[in-house]
Structure 1
Amino acid sequence: MSFSAFFRQTGVSMDDVEVGAMLSRRTLFLLFGAILAMTSSAGRADAQKQILAKPTMPTRFTVTEEGTAGKPDIVLLPGLTSSRRVWAAEAARLAPSYQLHLVQINGFAGQPAGVNATSEKLLSAIVEELHGYIASRKIRPVVIGHSLGGLLTLMLARRYPGDLSKMVIVDALPFYGLMFGPQATVESVRPTATAMRNGAMAQTSAQRAVSAKQTADFLVLNAKGRELVAADSFSSDPGVFARMMYEDLQTDLRPELATIKMSALALYAFDPTLTFPNGVKPTREMADSITSAAYETMPNAELVRVDYSRHFIMFDQPGRLHNLIREFVSRPNGGGPVP
């Protein structure tokens, strides 16, 4: 099923929302999918230990620990429908120097949904359990989040600033509704967000398979990465995906970014080979403008564009990603145990 057919099925008229002239109906859904991140394949090696923090045992996600005990801590958060494997290559590079905590949200990439299957306000609930996990471990980590994981990182930093030493945001915006146009608001996006949620929940298995492949082809340049993206997208719980996508579109953190004082690195992708389905080619200036406007009130955010990459920088530019993370994390005031 094409994305234009998806919109016809859900009854969404893109004329009902103010969309930038550069975006066609099909383009908007693809671009929104790219920003939201459908990634990777499920699971880690059987030998890895799944950690349930005590006494606050997470019910919204699981965590595996890797790396070197006693070293500074890093928490890695994947995006919408992603397994923790999206961070596999980067985790292997960081492991000798850091204690790693790799999160996977329940309901994504084949992991049982559990309480996420019926709960409302999922993003807020996940942030609370992340706080509980960090507090119970008595750590003050660097938190690195991709896409939806980046939004969760910002929410955690706003609500519990003492939990993080610094953060890295990988191709995420504080308000995804900006992809509907620079004047978009939570209210103006709500009708389309509702229709997208309901349409996603109504898709058949065959329709989800086609959508997963189309989205993966748009999200990633790397061939193996595309396979992982499509596999995790298809194996995710449709209800959890749909409701979390809706919450994502209905969360605007821009008014509160000025309160987040810690050091932050925000990476964003640009691919000069990309052409939207309507024939428009994005420019570096367009990518710079969207990102700088989104983060303009966040005082200590350093914005870095990563060229020749689509949404999954960890697949398309893994070396560049690692060098940027390593340099930023190793600066003074990095993560470490709570005194």
Structure 2
Amino acid sequence: MKKTTFFAILIAILAACSSNASPVNFKAGTNPKPFEVTVTGHGQPMLFIPGATCSGDEWKESVAHFSKTHECHVFTLAGYAGTAPIESGPYLETFKTELINYIKTKNLSNVILVGHSIGGFLSLWIASELQDHLSKVVIVDALPFFAGTFNPNAKAGFEESQAKSLLEAYAKMDDTQMKANQLLTTRTLCADSSQWNKIATWGAQSDRKTLAYTITEMMGRDLRTQIASVKVPVLVMAAFMPVKQYPQFTEEYVANTFTRQYSNCKTCRVVTSPPAKHFIMYDAPEWFLEEIDTFIQPS
């Protein structure tokens, strides 16, 4: 099987499901807010949506750079990184709808969306529905139909039984085991070891139902046809890290995989990273900022 960075979520699922620990009671208070947001800087609005389990602090270095010239709205989705979860799903659709409402309520215009992983998936979904307000979109290592990378014949549709199975696996872990699980996963997602503990801590602190259901919801939703309606320019960053054991896994293979998935989006442009895993902003920071700087320059 060809190994790619966007298979890393599967590794997380398998690692969770391999736990033989006894069930652990885990409950968290619910949150009436679908996200937390901080705003810094002035100028054209940029909205930063982090990946699964991550705090908005994932974007700390990016915001330090872009807030000099832009108004940066940085989100942490409810249930991730220690924030209280929303009461019930569908989680991703709620996040998507409320992010659109945020843009409209704040009367933001000429918005640049930047999303990583699940945040990239949400950004793509928003861009397919929100015809006004947006100017450009940056997608960081996310696909319109993640399940299609495993199985070309995969069918769309949320399978709650899968979400429940994943939740049961997470529920068997105490906090120490969950942190170890997330650290194992983080090593597959990020090459920069100085970031591992931070990312794993966010994962361990995340609400387990939110984590299980958002992963499953993303796996079951196919945006490939829907993205034909995207009208604004989209920069898609695909992570590429050579894998010695898999010489057939090349930069061309990654580029082709992403290009096929985004083929219906006529405004999308795919670029592959220099050696970097899923957290491109940490593994190739200079390239990451330069690519976005160039992309968001006024036409």
- The partner residue of 2:241 within 267, 271, 279 is 271
Give the match for residue 160 of structure 1.
Answer: 130
Deviations 1:29-51 (A, max 9, x none): 7453589xxxxxxxxxxxxxxxx
- The partner residue of 1:66 within 22, 40, 47 is 40
DSSP 3-state at the match of 1:109? coil
Q: Distance in 2 between matches of 1:100 and 1:288?
A: 30
Q: Distance in 1 between matches of 2:12 and 2:250?
A: 16
Aligned partners of 1:258 and 1:297 also within 8 Å: yes
Q: Distance in 1 between matches of 2:235 and 2:167?
A: 31
Aligned partners of 2:50 and 2:119 also within 8 Å: yes
Q: State the 4+ residue runs in structure 1 displaced beyond 6 angstroms.
A: 188-191
Q: Distance in 2 between matches of 1:119 and 1:190?
A: 13
Residues 1:184 and 2:154 are matched in the alignment: yes
Aligned partners of 2:159 and 2:216 also within 8 Å: no
With over 3 angstroms needed to count, the CA separation of the structure-2 counterparts of 1:325 and 1:86, relative to structure 1, is same
Q: Distance in 2 between matches of 1:159 and 1:194?
A: 29
With over 3 angstroms needed to count, the CA separation of the structure-2 counterparts of 1:201 and 1:176, relative to structure 1, is farther
AA matched with 1:166: K
Residues 1:205 and 2:188 are matched in the alignment: no
AA matched with 1:112: A
DSSP 3-state at the match of 1:302? strand
Give the match for residue 61 of structure 2.
Answer: 89
TM-score using structure 1 length: 0.76
Aligned partners of 2:125 and 2:227 also within 8 Å: no
Paired residues, number: 280
1:194 Cα deviation from its structure 2 partner: 5.5
What is the RMSD of the two structures over their aligned residues, measured on CA atoms?
Answer: 2.5
With over 3 angstroms needed to count, the CA separation of the structure-2 counterparts of 1:252 and 1:313, relative to structure 1, is same
Listed as ranges, the gaps of 5+ residues in structure 2 are: 14-31
- Counterparts in 2 of 1:123-272, with a 5 A limit? 123-140=92-109, 141-186=111-156, 195-272=165-242
Residues 1:280 and 2:249 are matched in the alignment: no
TM-score using structure 2 length: 0.86
- Counterparts in 2 of 1:1-16, with a 5 A limit? none
Deviations 1:139-193 (A, max 9, x none): 1211100000011111111222213111000000011102323332225988756
Listed as ranges, the gaps of 5+ residues in structure 1 are: 1-20, 36-57, 333-339
Q: Distance in 2 between matches of 1:204 and 1:95?
A: 39
Aligned partners of 1:81 and 1:233 also within 8 Å: yes
Aligned partners of 1:78 and 1:146 also within 8 Å: yes
Q: Distance in 1 between matches of 2:82 and 2:36?
A: 13
1:104 Cα deviation from its structure 2 partner: 0.6
Q: Which moved more, 1:226-235 or 1:185-194?
A: 185-194
AA matched with 1:240: T
